[in-house]
Structure 1
Amino acid sequence: MQAQMEHTQVDSPPKEVPENSPQKKHETLEEMLSRHRKEIAQLQNKEVALKKAAAKGSKAEQKAKKKQVEDDISQLSSKLKESHAEELASLGYNNSNDKEKEKSNLDNLVKAIAGVSVASQGDPSKPSKTVKRREKRAQQEAAREQRIQEEQSNMVSDRMVENEKLERKLEPLGLMVNEIKPDGHCLYRAVEDQLSLLSGGSSPYTYQELREMVAAYMRKHAPDFLPFFLSDNMKEMDSDNSLSERFEKYCREIESTAAWGGQLELGALTHCLRNHIMIFSGSFPDVEMGKEYKSDSGVTSSNPSIMLSYHKHAFGLGEHYNSIVPNVI
């Protein structure tokens, strides 16, 4: 029977708003930057949805579909970057590759964010404190916008290389990536997905319950985590708060916000669940957590391993975790 691969459709970016429309005529820079961030997030969510849809069919079909998704997302990402650069240029910021102009361009963006005309040379007298405060806030916002632009330029190629390496690692094991929503809860959602898979039904814990378990475990076993917490938070050593207060704040953020989870949280999860956790990566060596809970019988045992993947270049705004599942044809 001849199988025909469905072409994965990717919506085109929204049509360009006419120059004389209210949106372009009255949009402030702050509103523009906010919209840019939303459009980047929408593209990331679209990529996750398309990858999920592509994970069907034979291995050859899946590979072809994933390649199509990568190509389409790469094109959309480039178009989005160009569109953002053009819009920023209309406010006095030019995304030039000329290093000599880079500082001037950034200064222009800072002034635009601060509400200072970039075309006006103005009075050379000393700026007021209000203007200084505005420019300081604008400097931070401009630096963030520039980082986003730079990351967009690099993330597509880095992501493709990382994904290809990970696929080559997983394919001989009969495994594949199950995409998880990139919303800050990705580590806990990925573990929840694994628990659902291992139980053959619904997970015994939601991602929010996993967060609360991790925070409670870290509080109870604070001496085990404080040395690592301290090394990861050296930049806050000049804070007026004590180490215990900063650690408590960290635990509160785990249980009550969408704070991204990492090595400390993985260490707590493996003990909370009493499960071995295997983390695959296309950028780094694989990592095992909770080896004392590892069963010699592997995935067929009564206590199989939780399998995750770590992606350094998955998205331009941060790192990401996915769930690793059997590649069933």
Structure 2
Amino acid sequence: MEQIKEKHEAEKKQLQETILTMRNEANKKTKKAVNRKIIEMETEMKFRHRDEVAAFKESQEENNEDGTREGEGEDEDEEMTPEMLLAQMGLSDAQTKTNNNNKEQVLQESKKKRNRQKERLAKRKAEMEKQQAEAAEEASHQIDFRKNELDTLEVICNNQKVKQVDIIPDGHCLFNSICDQLKLRHDIPTDYKKLRSEAAEYIRQHPNDFIPFLFDEETMSIRDVNEYTDKIANTPMWGGDLEILALSKVYCCPISVMMAASKSLLINEGGVQPELKLVYYKHVFGTGEHYGSLHDL
């Protein structure tokens, strides 16, 4: 447990250093997005630390139970009937009488052991059934996040007089959504591969504008710009705020992102070309976060 506490303290310290770096390097354009990212990072760490502590405690309890079960097995293996002892040692009648008494005592002790084991098993079963019942009760009252998100987005779309357009939910969904918007609003035909390359190149040319976005939650450090942009250009890695900002600069236009949980995010508000309109889903798709395109009614 001490090792886990030390690990968590080190991660908290490193995260605070990273947050300080991100805030120092943020500018007016990136301040809101950076603050949102910081909140996500702190929340993720809080819940991850809680889960790791719970998993450790559960593992310790299982180990203790295994040790108890092994001890019980050894007691049962050591039991020997009086008849077996007589056959091996040829005891006298007097000894036989003594052994009969011992036999009764052994049987009584054995029954006590088995009864205690049954009691433990019954108690464990009752606890499991109680936990299952509580989980089922909790699940019955859980919020249907998917339905809530869809309902909220539908209301927002009706108010803004736009409709959601389906985009294949894969690692290219953000870029394919922007492709759809560029064709619709700028009359520019393109594809996700070209957009990936353009976003990567813009980030390489303007690294200081994007460093606050390049926090790696696995290594708890800032990612290498060249390594990151290579993945954006050449793999199906999912895109996000960083790539939206880059492409809004490439095409000199604002890009808005509709969300159910908060008001729409508007990136590069000063862009002179027509606004591109996207929608962000957090709960709707089983594959995880997803982007779609919005068409005017």
Q: With structure 1 as the length reference, what TM-score do the two structures score? A: 0.46
| Separation (CA, whole Å) in 2 of partners of 1:182 and 1:169 | 22
Find the counterpart in structure 2 of residue 236 from structure 1.
Answer: 219
1:247-286 per-residue CA deviation (whole Å, 9 max, x = no partner) reads: 2111111001111111111110100111111111112221
Whether the 8 Å contact between 2:280 and 2:290 is mirrored in structure 1 is yes
| Superposition map of 1:240-319 within 5 A | 246-293=224-271, 303-319=273-289
How many residues get paired?
169
State how far apart, in whole Å, the 2-side matches of 1:321 and 1:183 are: 9
Does the 8 Å contact 1:180/1:190 carry over to 2?
Answer: yes
Unpaired segments ≥5 residues, structure 1: 1-98, 108-120, 122-152, 295-302
Amino acid paired to 1:322? G
User: Which has more helix, going by share of residues?
Assistant: 2
Q: Is the 8 A contact 1:155 1:313 kept in 2?
A: no
CA deviation string 1:64-121 (max 9, x = no partner): xxxxxxxxxxxxxxxxxxxxxxxxxxxxxxxxxxx9xxx69xx9xxxxxxxxxxxxx9
Helix, strand or coil at the partner of 2:171: coil
**Unmatched 5+ stretches in structure 2:** 1-53, 63-69, 71-139
Match of 2:161 in 1: 174
Greater relative contact order (CA < 8 Å, ≥ 6 in sequence): 2
Deviation at 1:173, TM superposition (A): 2.1
Amino acid of the residue matched to residue 224 of structure 1? Answer: D
Distance 1:199 1:269, change over 3 A: closer
Please tell me whether the aligned partners of residues 213 and 242 of structure 2 are also in contact (alpha carbons under 8 angstroms).
yes
Output one character per residue of 1:168-190: Cα deviation in whole Å (capped at 9) or x when no partner: 01102221100110111010000
Equivalent residue for 1:322, pick from 278, 286, 292: 292
The percentage of counterpart residues that share the same residue type is 33
Q: Distance in 2 between matches of 1:155 and 1:190?
A: 32
Within the alignment, does 1:214 sit opposite 2:199 as a pair?
yes
Taking the aligned partners of 2:274 and 2:242, their CA distance within structure 1 comes to: 22
- Who is 2:180 aligned against? 193
Q: CA deviation at 1:154?
A: 11
Report how far residue 206 of structure 1 moved: 0.9
Match of 1:260, SS? Answer: coil
What's the TM-score once normalised by structure 2's chain length? Answer: 0.50
Query: How far is the alpha carbon of 1:308 from its aligned partner?
Result: 0.2
Contact 1:190 1:323 in 2 (8 A): yes
1:257 maps to amino acid:
T
Is the Cα contact below 8 Å between 1:155 and 1:316 reproduced in 2?
no
Query: Aligned to 1:158, which of 116, 131, 145?
Result: 145
Partner residue, 1:76: none
Quick one: structure 1 residues 322 and 156, their matched pair in 2 at CA, closer, same or farther if it must change by over 3 Å?
farther
Letter in 2 for 1:272: V
Which has the greater radius of gyration?
Answer: 2
TM-fit CA distance, 1:233: 2.0
- Residue type of the partner of 2:213? F
- Cα distance between partner residues in 2 of 1:222 and 1:280: 27
